Structure 1
Amino acid sequence: MRIDISFLPAYAAAFMLAFARVSAMVMLLPGLGETNIPVRIKLSTALLLTLIILPLHRQAYQVDMGSLTPLLVMMLHEIIIGVVLGATARVTFAALQVAGAVIAQQMGLGFVTAVDPTQGQQGVLVGNFLTMLGVTMLFATDSHHLVIAALSDSYKVFAPGELVPSGDVASLATQAFGTAFKLGLQLSAPFLVFGLVFNVGLGVLARLMPQMQVYFVGAPLSIMLGFLILAFVLAAMMGTFLGYFDGVMHDMMPR
Structure 2
Amino acid sequence: MFSVTYEQLNVWLTAFLWPFVRILALVASSPAFGDKSLPIRVKIGLSAFVTIIVAPTLGALPQVTVFSAQGVWIIINQFLIGVALGFTMQLVFGAVQAAGDIIGMSMGLGFATFFDPHSTGATDVMSRYVYMIAILTFFALDGHLQMLSALIQTFQALPVSANVLGATGWRVLAGWGSTVFNAGLLLALPIVTALLITNLALGILNRAAPQIGVFQVGLPLTVITGLLLIQLMLPNMMPFFSRLFDGGIAEMGRVVAGMH
Instruction: With the length of structure 1 as denominator, give the TM-score of the two structures.
Output: 0.91
* Paired AA for residue 30 in structure 2: L
Cα deviations across residues 127-164 of structure 1 (Å, max 9, x unaligned)?
10111221122112211111111111212333322221
Provide runs of 4+ in structure 1 moved above 4 Å. 1-6
AA of the residue aligned to 2:230: L
What is the match of residue 204 of structure 1? 204
Question: Compared with structure 1, are the counterparts of its residues 119 and 66 closer, same or farther at alpha carbon in structure 2 (3 Å cutoff)?
Answer: closer
Whether the 8 Å contact between 1:116 and 1:128 is mirrored in structure 2 is no
In structure 1, the gaps of 5 or more residues are none
Task: Tell me if structure 1 keeps the 8 A contact 2:66–2:72.
Answer: no
2:109 paired with 1:109: yes
Distance in 1 (alpha carbons) for counterparts of 2:38 and 2:115:
15
Q: Which moved more, 1:38-47 or 1:203-212?
A: 203-212
Aligned residues: 253
Matched residues in 2 for 1:66 and 1:45: separation?
23
* 2:181 alignment partner in structure 1: 181
CA contact (8 A) 1:35 1:119 kept: yes
Mark the CA change 1:175 to 1:118 in structure 2 (over 3 Å): closer, same or farther. Answer: farther
Take 1:105 and 1:176, find their aligned partners in 2: how far apart are those partners? 25
Task: Check the 8 A contact 1:36/1:120 in 2, yes or no.
Answer: no
Residue matched to 1:11? 12
CA–CA distance in structure 2, aligned partners of residues 15 and 121 of structure 1 = 36
Structure 1 residues 105 and 2, CA, compared in 2 at 3 Å: closer, same or farther? closer
Q: Distance in 1 between matches of 2:29 and 2:42?
A: 13
Per the TM alignment, residue 66 of structure 1 is displaced from its structure 2 partner at its CA by 9.0
In structure 2, relative to structure 1, the CA distance for the partners of 1:180 and 1:114 (3 Å cut) is farther
Partner residue of 1:64? 64
Q: CA deviation at 1:247?
A: 2.0
Determine the structure 2 residue equivalent to 1:96. 96
Q: CA RMSD in A?
A: 2.1
Instruction: Answer yes or no: is the 8 Å Cα contact 2:103–2:126 preserved in 1.
Output: yes
- Post-superposition CA distance 1:51-89 (Å, at most 9, x none): 122112142x21323971110111111111111011111
Work out the CA distance in 1 between the residues paired with 2:11 and 2:80.
22
Q: State the match for 2:128 in structure 1.
A: 128
Q: Provide the rounded CA distance (Å) in 2 between the counterparts of 1:62 and 1:45.
A: 25
Contact 1:63/1:71 (8 A) holds in 2: no
Which residue pairs with 2:27 in the alignment? 26
Between the aligned partners of 1:66 and 1:54, the Cα distance in structure 2 is 16
Partner-residue secondary structure (3-state), 2:240: helix
Contact 2:20 2:51 in 1 (8 A): yes
**1:123 partner SS:** strand
Per-residue CA distance 1:67-114 (angstroms, 9 max, x = gap): 711101111111111110111111110111111011111111111112
In 1, Cα distance between equivalents of 2:118 and 2:104: 19
SS of the residue corresponding to residue 95 of structure 1 reads helix
- Tell me what 1:142 maps to: 142
Conserved 8 A contact 1:81-1:158: no
Q: Which runs of 5+ in 2 are unaligned?
A: none
Question: Which is helix-richer, 1 or 2?
Answer: 2
Contact persistence 2:99–2:188 (CA under 8 A): yes
Percent same amino acid at aligned positions?
28
8 A Cα contact 2:100 2:126, kept in partner? yes
Letter in 2 for 1:146: Q
Aligned to 1:223: 223
